[in-house]
Structure 1
Amino acid sequence: MDNAQIGKNWPELREKLLEKYPELTAEDLAYEIGQEAELLKRLQEKLRKNRAEVDYILSLMG
């Protein structure tokens, strides 16, 4: 999923991530425009997934 799609769909993606991964916190899911790389890195670390896996998860949800 590209950065523009993350920003456009973030509220919906955030809710879906919280449902599927209750271990995620508000801090893990904090998003600011232009800070997509930091968000993806936090998700990788928290979910113990690589970038491709996180992108895949987001694409399925979005």
Structure 2
Amino acid sequence: MDDKIEGKWDQAKGKVKEEAGKLGGDKSTEIGGKIDQGKGKVKEGLGELKEELREERADR
């Protein structure tokens, strides 16, 4: 799977996990969800960078 898609998926899962933690009063799950969202943002950014590099190579 593409890093950008995986990143967005991780962000969505993280948001669900965060909200579940809030609803259940479980700070650990809530924080874990926020961490997952951050990882997803990094992965999405990496995917964008890879895409830009591929385009740069193709232009040469």
| TM-score normalised by the chain length of structure 2 | 0.30
| Larger radius of gyration between Structure 1 and Structure 2 | 2
